[in-house]
Homo-oligomer: A and B are copies of this chain.
Amino acid sequence: MSSELLPVLRERWSPRAFDPAHHLSDQDADVLLEAARWAPSAGNSQPWAFHVARRNTPEWRALTEHLAGSSRPWASQASALVVNLSHVYVEDTDWEFSEFSIYDLGQAVAHMTIQAHSMGLSCRQFRAFDKDAVGRLLEVPPHWDVVTMTAIGRAPSEAERGPRASQRETAIAWPRS
């Protein structure tokens, strides 16, 4: 039996442009969150939270004020901005909530990204925003941390996009001496 790379993994890409006419429905937003929720995590600790702001809502406007100049042009075209948060400490302590909070957040965001691709949507994760300002805006308590944002929307067609950076040149197997 021969196995092939899942098309949803091979075809996923991170656009730098989104269709500003596309609207993300309530139902689609729910399915994206559901995909993240089903990700594996250490001891099923689920050390993640997501804040979804859809384009042209008041909270989206507040969020876009904190985007860097490098991300605003394309991120503000996306149908939604999702703030990805990690559960870093046990509340009111300096005890680590989980050794794998950031790693597991990565897994959950990957699930959301793959789900989005299966729905004809695309994601670009980014860090080009004022993290402290976003934390204040969302009233993030000290035991949680804003890690990244994901811009989610409808990307330009394949024909319109530039070449994808190859993943082929990186050593994947551990180089033994």
Which residues of A are in contact with B by a Cβ distance under 8 Å?
2-6, 8-10, 12, 14, 27-28, 31, 33-40, 42, 44, 46, 48-52, 83, 85, 99-100, 102-107, 109-111, 113-115, 118-119, 123, 125, 127, 138-140, 147-148, 165, 167, 170-177
Contact = CB atoms under 8 A, between A and B. Distances in A.
Contacts of A85: 174
A9 B33 contact: no
A148 B103 contact: yes
A33 B173 contact: yes
Contacts of A107: 106-107, 109-110, 113
B111 A172 contact: no
18 contacts: A3-B28, A3-B31, A6-B8, A6-B35, A9-B114, A12-B40, A36-B172, A39-B110, A40-B110, A40-B123, A46-B167, A50-B173, A52-B173, A83-B174, A85-B174, A103-B147, A106-B106, A140-B174
B102 A106 contact: yes
| Copies of this subunit | 2
A5 B174 contact: no
Given A9-B115, A35-B5, A100-B148, A51 B139 contact: no
Contacts of A125: 40, 42
Interface of A is mostly: mixed
B27 A2 contact: yes
A164 to B, nearest CB: 9
A137 B104 CA distance: 26
